[in-house]
Amino acid sequence: MKSTSKQNLRKSIQLLLNKAKNAERNGNYSLAHQYSDDAYFLSKELEALKGF
């Protein structure tokens, strides 16, 4: 069974990646980079939770 916090992290990561893709399509590379960095940070948090 998946933990709610893990599911929320996965949803947040996917949302940020989608926002990054859309920002890049619109030419806003700075915002796309920020979204990508945020998604990366959350992925590290998710990785840390895998042991729990």
Query: pLDDT tens digits for 1-52?
Result: 456 888 999 999 999 999 999 999 999 999 999 999 999 999 999 998 887 6
Give the pLDDT of residue 2.
Answer: 59
d(CA 4, CA 20): 24
Give the pLDDT of residue 52.
Answer: 61
Is residue 38 within 8 Å of 16, Cβ to Cβ?
A: yes
Give the pLDDT of residue 8.
Answer: 93
Give the pLDDT of residue 14.
Answer: 98
